[in-house]
Structure 1
Amino acid sequence: MGSFSTLLRQCAFVMMVAAVLAWAAPAEAKLWVAGTGFVLLAIFAGISLYRHHQIRRLAAEIDEVLHAGRTVDFSNCREGDVAVLANELGKVVARLSRIRDQLAAERNALADSLADVSHQIRTPLTAVTLMLPVVERADDPRERKRAVRELEAMIERVSWLVTTLLKIAKVDAGAMHVERREVRAADVVRRAVAPLATAMDLRDVNLVLQLDEAATFQGDAPWTAEAVENIAKNCMEHTLAGGTVTVAVRENALACSITVSDTGPGIAPEDLPHIFERFYRGRSAGAVAPEGAADGNNDVRQPAGFGIGLSLAQALVSAQGGTLRAANSPAGGARFEISFPKLVV
């Protein structure tokens, strides 16, 4: 209504100008000046009414976008400044529509992640709750000691899960500080596998290092070491007693690569596309304990992992500009390759 009032004021102003011109014109030209003024007034009013109609229609369509959540097509506007405005509004609406879809997808993903986190934390906490009465009722010191060790292991698993989730959250939020300096790949590998030495001995898994001492890359040594450790730990957990986990470092003119492979059953074809997804655990998620473990029983399956170690490794490598790929070795077993390019085009 306000814009229509503005249109009336503009028409009144044009009429007043035409009347003044007609009054000031010579007597023989007054009629011609007045007629020309009214013709121009009619043209001005027609164009203004048409523009007013277009703008009102655009305003109504924008109102539908804002309140009804609908996507509106502005393509029926003809040439002119209003058409330019409609084109820009169409771009804004398309962008808002994409953002809305992205937010909906992220909201669903967040809900699924929270449900997975809740489930993953609840499982060991439930086991701890069930084991507490066993510890309280245990009269045999050896039985009590064994139950206490299992409780400690469960608590360590929960602590590791929470710490890993916080690291992933930092990567997602872009709050992780990544240094870019020259790093010796061999030193990173030694730092990564050192915490796994005891676990590999207990599982009777051999660790083989094939290191190019001269190989270097531009990245962050601590974060890369953590990524390699998570991958090596995953390979160890899926390797039978007597098997081997091999970590190799190679360098060429294009990239520096760190390869971690094992002699386990490998990755199922249906699991390969999802291997780096969070909380994804394929059909071979369980790991086989080393011979003689768990009271001497062979083929005792250890608690399956949480399914976030490989996801964290990929996030840490990607944050440094590297790539992490998974495949099956021709000779059998899983193979993970981290590559840091030497030259970015």
Structure 2
Amino acid sequence: MSFERLAPEQHDTLDDVPEPAENPRLIGHGEIATTLASAYKAGKLPHALMLCGPAGIGKATLAFHLAHHVLKHPDARLAPETLAVPDPASGLFRQVAMGAHPSVLHLTRPMNDRTKAFKSVVTVDEIRKVGQFLSMTSHDGGYRVVIVDPADDMNTNAANALLKNLEEPPARTVFILVVHAPGSLLPTIRSRCQVLRLAPLEEHDLMTVLATIGQASPDDAAQRTALAERAGGSARAAILLTQYGGLEIAAALEKLVSAGRMDIASAHRLAETVAGRDQAIPFATFNRHALELLSDAASSSAVAGNLARAKSLSDTWQDAQRAISETETYNLDKKQHALTMIDRLNSAMRM
């Protein structure tokens, strides 16, 4: 199903899938949405919110729905007790979606003007836009909304710059930090935010998201359940698994990792598949699943009481995360990265 793309392209944009800023439907998270609407109506909306949970479950969509709500109802006392549903035909919706509303600042990974690729971090220059944004008077005396998405991607300088803004927040301003892993942020940032934890989507809600954006889901009930489990309640993960070869990539990686001896030919085939030209999404899927395998194995070892193995796997996860970041930052050879990652996982799992 095609639709009119309004939002600027992001580092993780998927074809024919609405960006959070242009998504009129929020599926799931009803209790938290109502809590936020009630807090706004009562004049008790925190100046900084941290929406935490796995990637792809709707955190950023909720952030933009809250922004839409406070802009549509500048007098909080007259606002409804549930979040307003954005009207795609309205000027407000289109302005917010296009990144053109003067009261909404959306900060994410910027484009590298030299390479024409998105940077791997939210830079300090992006966060510095907050100062200029807040120095301007709100056009109608209403709220101003700063959305950092995802805040996990801020580098150290960016995080410190944001902290200064959070320490002395202006009136009628709300910062919304979209966060996949709260532990990755400075404790001083976390302490200045109200943390709201969003749960992974239930199977029914996950399939509803897929249907809403015209993405096919399995006809068989058992296959739908299996997809929901493998996707971890993430709509984005489900789309990547079903539409971008993610299931095949995951199965191939798991087979290689579980083998007693490295299958060199199969490793090269998988590396070539995910590292080819215009294969950014399969490459990201490969990396994400590699990290998931390490994380799951570390957790299982810890639960079983094998703390030494858990520590080793955790260290390997850190090394793998660093390698992914360096490959993106310095545009290193992706096939060699994939082969090294497969070897790293194979060695780690045999311990």
Tell me, yes or no, whether TM beats 0.5.
no
- What TM-score does the superposition give when structure 1 sets the normalisation length? 0.19
- What TM-score does the superposition give when structure 2 sets the normalisation length? 0.19
Higher helix share: 1
Higher strand share: 1
